[in-house]
Amino acid sequence: MKRILILTVCFLSAFPSAYAQEIRDTLTASSVEYARDLKTVPGVYGIDIEKTLRITTPTGEGDIFKYIQFLPGVATGAEGSSATYTRGGNMGNNLMTLDGVPIYGSSHLLGFSSAMPLDVIERADYRIGGFGGEDANLTSSHIRLHSADGDFSEFHGKASVSNFLASAKLSFPIVKDKLSFIGSFRISPVGLEYRLARNLINRYQQEVDSIKATVYDVYGKFKYRLSQDKSLSLSIFHSYDSYNYGIGMNGLSRDGLKWGNLIGNLQYDSFAESGYTIKASLSFNDNNSGQIQEKKLDGIYNRLEIRNDLKEIKLNVSASRTINRYANIKFGGSTRYNIFNPGTSREYAGDSKVGKDVRPFSSNRTGTFLTSIYGQIELSKEKEYLLQASAAVNAFIFPYMYSARVTVNPDAGILARYHITEAISTEATFDYKTQYFHTLEGLPMGWSLDMIVPSNEILKPEHSLQGYWGWSFRFGPNHIDIGGYYKKMHNLVYYRHASDVFNPAASGWKETTDVGEGTSFGGEFLYNLSLKRLSAQIAYTLSKTDRKFSLVNRGAVFPAKYDRRHILNANLEYAIISRPKASFKFNATFTYQSGHWENVANCYVPERNIIDGTTVPVVVISAVNDIKMPDYIRWDNSLSLEVKRPRCRHNINLGVYNTLNRHNPSFIIYNNEKERWETLSLIPIMPSLYYSIAF
């Protein structure tokens, strides 16, 4: 684990004004602007894409995950990362989809940025309760992204650059009013930046050497209008991350990490005169990740590779119809075929570099089918009430021994709002959700190296039962939401090798995974102020989240790793200049979170190896997650300038991430030289720059 943390520090240090953080022994014992209607319906938060881009981040460019981390009910993982834990769930219990297609690998830049370019997203929302019938195969949250269409009449373009990303977007008609195209391309110059800045990095220079990185994503969408109310679209998305670095002097050891997505989606949309809206799509999804380690010891070249693959073909059909001014129905279904091949490995040892003698990858290949059928009804009357109820039946087919097994599970969701007065309303949600794909999580960075494995006879489908009740108050420009939730989770997975970034034991994940349950409950508060020049938001979460596994911590209950008791996010934005042709804004964000939980080895006990009789040290941990890390505090500031010209628009964001230069500890590592445990801080004060020109 120490190697990859050092690699992360070095990458963040590539920006000239950042620097590698000193390990500090501080272990204790035990720009953002939101729309006026941030919360449109119970459990659902609308996301403003343009305003998301102005969030101050380490990479210089805002993304969906950073926006979500400011909302109530959400805890974050490591410093600056895109890891999110919603209402006590695991990171793998969150689902992100693009036009209904899951994005299984959703990160860039070692988890510090999203893999999905926001320039091609038309609208997005974040759902944490009151799930609809089409929200399938999840138990915590759903980030729904809807792509934009290309312009059918004019040519448009955009180019942008930030600390670690450069991008370009094009939108134009191929056949006017008939066929359009929209596309984007992003690439990160982080490898070049590191080489230019390596002389400024001296603490780890002898330990990490010759870093190479390739990071990019590309998106394209064609849309063809069959008629005034029918259309056909084809979209392709590909993202890729690859990191290769040497450890030690003279290149005696080299490590590599990589992951990527390839998604294709063919979609048909129809708006019939009968009142039905029909959507049908056929998609292909290929998500893969891998790790490689090379070592030369006593003249022998050793090579170990571990790979994870997930392929999916999915057919989805839905229909909706407005019955009358008060009622709307929606129904549909989906079926998907998945091929899982997690934790496959191969190794080589010889006198020279790997060649024809390399053994093929081992195989953990498993094929599964998941079919869901759902129905949903919505009753509403403006400023009086809203009621939505949905139900679904899921059938999951997986291999067992020499036959196939079928498990059938229901899903259900209810959301309701009743307006007591024009300014006061009460709202509630209830959800029972099932998830069939388990994520064996590694470091809490939000990256895509985590193994995704299917449910089987031992790893049963995960279930969550969640209820929420709250109140909403609206007085002029002030909007307050306050409420509480209770959530019970069953068949959660616990991966014992989560702290090991590169471990040959990953190929034996079946023997190191335990199944248990979890409980989370708490209160959530959200305040929004929206004036002509001033906007402010305060989000606070008070919660408690526990885990229990029969084979972990002697079966006793222990706090979840990211059970952050108090989470407070505050944001203020003031428009210094607000004119039709120019705007100049100041933004300040403050974040406070209780420290997360860690566990360390209390001692080492000698144990006899049953194979060759040698003695090996065995780590002894008295209790799981019994060490509470120091609290997390961060303050960010930014200035944003927008200038509109007749033919183009310029945007400049200048930000300072972690203005206080606070060394927030993210991990515990063992210092062999000093023989003690120490905390590692990842990100110091870091300036950020984002510039874009749109035409």
Integer Cα distance of 669 and 1 in angstroms: 8
- Collapsed DSSP state (helix, strand, coil) of residue 66: helix
Q: Residue 557 has which token pair?
A: 């209950």
Q: Output the pLDDT for position 558.
A: 93
| Arithmetic mean of pLDDT over the chain | 86
Q: Output the pLDDT for position 12.
A: 57
Provide the angle, in degrees to the nearest 10, between the axes of the packed helices 2-12 and 190-197: 80
For the chain, the farthest-separated pair of C-alpha atoms sits apart, in whole angstroms, at: 80
Q: Output the pLDDT for position 239.
A: 96
CB 372 within 8 A of CB 390: no
Integer Cα distance of 211 and 196 in angstroms: 12
Q: Residue 378 has which token pair?
A: 């919505």
Measuring CA to CA, which residue among 301, 251, 159 is closest to residue 651? 159
Measuring CA to CA, which residue among 503, 515, 535 is closest to residue 640? 535
Note down the domain range covering 524: 2-694
**Mean pLDDT, range 457-463, rounded to an integer:** 93
Q: How many structural domains is the chain composed of?
A: 1
Q: Output the pLDDT for position 460.
A: 94
Q: Output the pLDDT for position 565.
A: 96
DSSP letter at 194? H
Q: Output the pLDDT for position 431.
A: 97
CATH number at 101 reads: 2.40.170.20
pLDDT above 50 (res 18): no
Q: pLDDT category, 59, cuts 50, 70, 90?
A: confident
Strand (E) positions, 249-365?
Answer: 253-271, 276-297, 300-322, 327-350
Q: Output the pLDDT for position 123.
A: 92
CA dist list (Å): 500 to 3, 95, 444, 641: 10, 24, 12, 44
* Share of residues in the chain with pLDDT > 70 (%): 83
Integer Cα distance of 119 and 188 in angstroms: 16
Q: Given the DSSP bridges, would you call strands 665-671 and 649-657 parallel, antiparallel or unpaired?
A: unpaired
Highest-pLDDT range among 15-24, 199-208, 273-282, 352-361: 273-282
pTM of the predicted protein model: 0.89
Backbone angles phi, psi at 144, to 5 degrees: -105, 115
Query: HEC states along 542-581?
Result: EEEEEEEECCCHHHCCEECCCCCCEEEEEEEEEEEEEECC
Residue with the bigger pLDDT between 279 and 246: it is: 279
Integer Cα distance of 185 and 447 in angstroms: 20
Q: Residue 466 has which token pair?
A: 């969640």
Q: pLDDT category, 199, cuts 50, 70, 90?
A: low
pLDDT above 80 (res 90): yes
pLDDT above 70 (res 11): no
Q: Output the pLDDT for position 207.
A: 55
CB 68 within 8 A of CB 74: yes
Q: pLDDT category, 24, cuts 50, 70, 90?
A: very low
pLDDT above 80 (res 33): no
pLDDT above 70 (res 197): no
Q: Residue 166 has which token pair?
A: 């450069």
Give the pLDDT confidence of 314-335 residue by residue, as tens digits. Answer: 999 999 998 888 999 999 999 9
Q: Output the pLDDT for position 204.
A: 46
Q: pLDDT category, 223, cuts 50, 70, 90?
A: very high
Q: pLDDT category, 6, cuts 50, 70, 90?
A: low
pLDDT above 80 (res 117): yes
CB 90 within 8 A of CB 78: no
Q: Residue 383 has which token pair?
A: 């400023």
Q: Does an H or E element contain 9, and which?
A: helix 2-12
User: Range with the lowest mean pLDDT among 82-86, 145-149, 390-394, 509-513?
Assistant: 509-513
Q: Residue 410 has which token pair?
A: 């229901």
Measuring CA to CA, which residue among 657, 668, 655 is closest to residue 591? 657
Integer Cα distance of 464 and 74 in angstroms: 17
Give the pLDDT confidence of 74-84 residue by residue, as tens digits. Answer: 999 888 888 89
CB 38 within 8 A of CB 46: yes
Q: Output the pLDDT for position 546.
A: 96
Measuring CA to CA, which residue among 239, 240, 282 is closest to residue 257? 240
Q: Output the pLDDT for position 31.
A: 33
- Collapsed DSSP state (helix, strand, coil) of residue 190: helix
124 CA to centre of own chain:
14
